[in-house]
Structure 1
């Protein structure tokens, strides 16, 4: 099954299915920025081992092979990563973005200067292993909520410096993105409300209306609540989304009924593969899952030289 192959610009293989929405592609500038930082860290003065052991004129062909099953994400990293030190390297992507793969599958092949391939290997593997793991985990959550209408979304609990890559991987797995940064939307959580209202619940609606009055009409406003009695005062302020944080299933159902379509309903907290289906069945619109990016374990992928020419 392919989750985003056509949307990512790669046609799906015969017999595979693609979802009907087009995810935002991974920006080239983000790829370059991450690779520059990664190679400056990993080879600040070059790859000493490859420079000393491998002749400059040596060529090689290497294959990126899966050692475990997963969902592919990271084609732009593979292409740019192997061409970072060798612009003439030939990179062939053999898996589409969002495509499920089995253990043993060859995901990509690269031919070029052996020194450059060996220098690029670890950075490319580190990033693609993580991205494919995120895509695979996201796909599991999406499958468990199929048919409910609930969207699986990520959070800001990402690796510093890798947010664009990790969120792209979520999209490859069929998930969606929450706000990208603190600058993108108003999202008032419990600590904001504690300061804003001074602990007086009666001030909640007035305070939120004041926030809304200072914003442009296109700016989204979301408010987190942790108990049912907060919902009506928040709705009265005209917010766009209400996050029901760590609610029981019964309270989620009650919250959805109380909101009654007057705002988008997001569920957050305590979301796992074991609980997500029941949460989705309560009728919420969005389920945010921090574990997609903060707890994922990298997939085991390897790069093997299959042809070497000294």
Structure 2
């Protein structure tokens, strides 16, 4: 679960962007004392993620709005399912609605897609992980969504690990620096708690990377046969990560090569938001009159 302070920071910024000087429609059209009840309804099946984020949008607009979740993060749901109810001042509900839905729909889309990848590699040793190809400012929420879908997280930021990618290696090569020597020097300088990962795009780079003491070797855009060869060559001396060319049609074959990790940028950089809606519950006038008459007569609610 994402830290509450982080959620409030992100949601507050989104609310300020959406209504910088208030909600002109709600404040001119909706009576100040109007209340409403709304249901969060799934228009399609999926995996839920972002319940706390959804609730925070309403709480930050008006603390008197009550949000009752009817499903939990990581829980699959069917089309038509009611996932939460929202009740309170109508102006506040309408002001928070779009931000609450936008974030929940995106997080649930990521969780749903991640769950499909995780299911595709079931029975192998491979873990599905995300990448840093996230929406700027939303990384914490998108990483949570990956976890809610059953996936794992890669490094959070550039500050978390040493990860030498193709452009780093190109700079070293252009300067005539020996790769194994450069990696050993980096290991001497890095904190003892840090992790060293190196990306390679050719089999013949692996020996030098192993000699340099890499903890993880990323095999980038390798064919399935090359992945098997790389796994055999590394032979347990480093964690093996596969990256590039990964989609739902290829991930099972990639995982079957024996790699430890499959990183999938598509989980966050090209995911489709799930279709969820917030529907205000409207009672028919006749039903309300009948309910009022029953109440006056002392008839219990729900009596036929």
Structure 1 stretches lacking a partner, 5+ long:
1-24
Instruction: Tell me the SS of whatever aligns to 1:239.
Output: coil
Cα contact 1:77–1:128 (8 A) shared by 2: yes
Q: Deviations over 1:5-27 (max 9, x none)?
A: xxxxxxxxxxxxxxxxxxxx111
How do 1:73-222 residues align onto structure 2 when only pairs under 5 Å count? 73-198=49-174, 200=176, 203-222=178-197
Q: TM-score, normalised by structure 1?
A: 0.90
Partner Cα distance (2:242, 2:175) in 1: 24
Aligned to 1:266: 241
Q: How many pairs align?
A: 284
Aligned to 2:207: 232
Measured after TM superposition, the shift of residue 35 of structure 1 is: 1.0
Cα contact 2:15–2:57 (8 A) shared by 1: no
Partner Cα distance (2:25, 2:41) in 1: 23
Aligned to 2:257: 282
Structure 2 stretches lacking a partner, 5+ long:
286-304
Cα contact 1:197–1:207 (8 A) shared by 2: no
Q: Deviations over 1:42-63 (max 9, x none)?
A: 0001101011111111111101
Partner Cα distance (1:68, 1:262) in 2: 44
Measured after TM superposition, the shift of residue 307 of structure 1 is: 4.5
Partner Cα distance (2:205, 2:5) in 1: 42
Partner Cα distance (2:173, 2:190) in 1: 19
Q: TM-score, normalised by structure 2?
A: 0.91
Partner Cα distance (2:61, 2:182) in 1: 54
Measured after TM superposition, the shift of residue 197 of structure 1 is: 3.1
Instruction: Tell me the SS of whatever aligns to 1:107.
Output: strand
Measured after TM superposition, the shift of residue 217 of structure 1 is: 1.1
Q: Deviations over 1:108-144 (max 9, x none)?
A: 1011110000000000111101000000000000000
Instruction: Tell me the SS of whatever aligns to 2:15.
Output: helix
Q: Deviations over 1:138-188 (max 9, x none)?
A: 000000001101000000100111110111000000000000001110000
Measured after TM superposition, the shift of residue 192 of structure 1 is: 0.3
Partner Cα distance (1:57, 1:125) in 2: 24
Partner Cα distance (1:51, 1:164) in 2: 33
Cα contact 1:59–1:114 (8 A) shared by 2: yes
Runs of 4+ in 1 over 3 A off after TM superposition: none
Instruction: Tell me the SS of whatever aligns to 2:150.
Output: coil
How do 1:243-262 residues align onto structure 2 when only pairs under 5 Å count? 243-262=218-237
Paired residue for 2:2, among 16, 26, 49?
Answer: 26
Aligned to 1:8: none
Q: Deviations over 1:263-310 (max 9, x none)?
A: 00000000000000000000000000000001111111110111589x
Partner Cα distance (1:26, 1:145) in 2: 26
Measured after TM superposition, the shift of residue 198 of structure 1 is: 2.3
Aligned alpha-carbon RMSD (Å):
1.3
How do 1:67-78 residues align onto structure 2 when only pairs under 5 Å count? 67-78=43-54
